[in-house]
Amino acid sequence: MKSLIFVRTFSVVLLMLIGLTETYAMSESSLDRRQIAIIPIAAQTASGDIENLKISLNQGLDTGLTVNEIKEILVQMYAYTGFPRSLNALGAFMSVVNERQEKGIKDEVGKEASPLPADYNSLRNGTANQTKLIGQEVKGPLFDFAPAVDEYLKAHLFGDIFERDVLTWQDRELATIAALANLKGAGSQLGAHYAISMHNGITEAQIRDFIEVLRKTVSAETANEAAKVFDQVLTDRK
């Protein structure tokens, strides 16, 4: 009997210590809890890992992301991972929200995107957004070769999606690098968005912590590859 009581007591203490350790690790991160929650949601959407995505979606809501913020992340993902991944993730999120409602959990819906002016021009404003986001006008042989993709990037991604104020640009870039890090063959795009992220206020320390979140929530292989790309970006900047 005493042995059983000891085992139960030890288990409780061990769980408390694990919780304290996780809390301490979270407080020591240069990313806040909300930013940390964004990373696996975007990364697992990119890979189509729906089972783990549902876990991350629940954790994101528990952390304080609103329903509309998570919707916005998943909608944005179609521009980087394609409609199938985005739609599957949105379907998973819809089921998570419904399950939580059935359990009596009341999640904050959050604000809607502000309406755009009547004279809003997606291409014009998107070009301005892209230039501001990246720090310079974007042009080059690829866009001369395929001008349609240049127009779609400017008008739709940066004009229609990035103009929506449900998320900040830092939020959007964090989601973008998480998705690209978990996409095979997207190293050059990941490197470009690391640079864009830092241009928009995400620090080197935050990206290092971002990589460690990938290690814990996705895989060591994904994190190691993301770290290699980031190291190369820092080398090129020097």
pLDDT tens digit sequence for 202-221 = 999 999 999 999 999 999 99
Continuous H helices in 64-121: 67-76, 78-81, 83-102
| Six-digit token string for 43 | 């990364």
Q: Look at residue 156 and tell me whether its pLDDT is greater than 90.
A: yes
The Cα 158–Cα 129 span in angstroms is: 6
Percent of the chain with pLDDT over 70: 88
Q: Look at residue 85 and tell me whether its pLDDT is greater than 50.
A: yes
What was the pLDDT predicted at 29? 79
The DSSP 8-state label assigned to residue 32 in this structure reads -
Residue boundaries of the structural domains of the chain: 33-111+166-237
What was the pLDDT predicted at 237? 87
Secondary element (H or E) of residue 58 = helix 50-63
What was the pLDDT predicted at 28? 66
The Cα 85–Cα 41 span in angstroms is: 12
Those residues with Cβ within 8 angstroms of residue 196's Cβ, 6 or more apart along the chain or in another chain: 133, 134, 173
Q: What is the mean pLDDT of residues 218-231?
A: 98
Average pLDDT of every residue of the chain: 90
What was the pLDDT predicted at 103? 97
CATH match for 33-111+166-237 among 3.30.70.270, 1.10.287.70, 1.20.1290.10, 3.40.640.10: 1.20.1290.10
The Cα 42–Cα 213 span in angstroms is: 12
The Cα 193–Cα 42 span in angstroms is: 14
Confidence class for position 238, pLDDT limits 50, 70, 90: confident
Q: What is the mean pLDDT of residues 89-110?
A: 98
Q: What is the mean pLDDT of residues 98-126?
A: 97
What was the pLDDT predicted at 25? 42
What was the pLDDT predicted at 11? 40
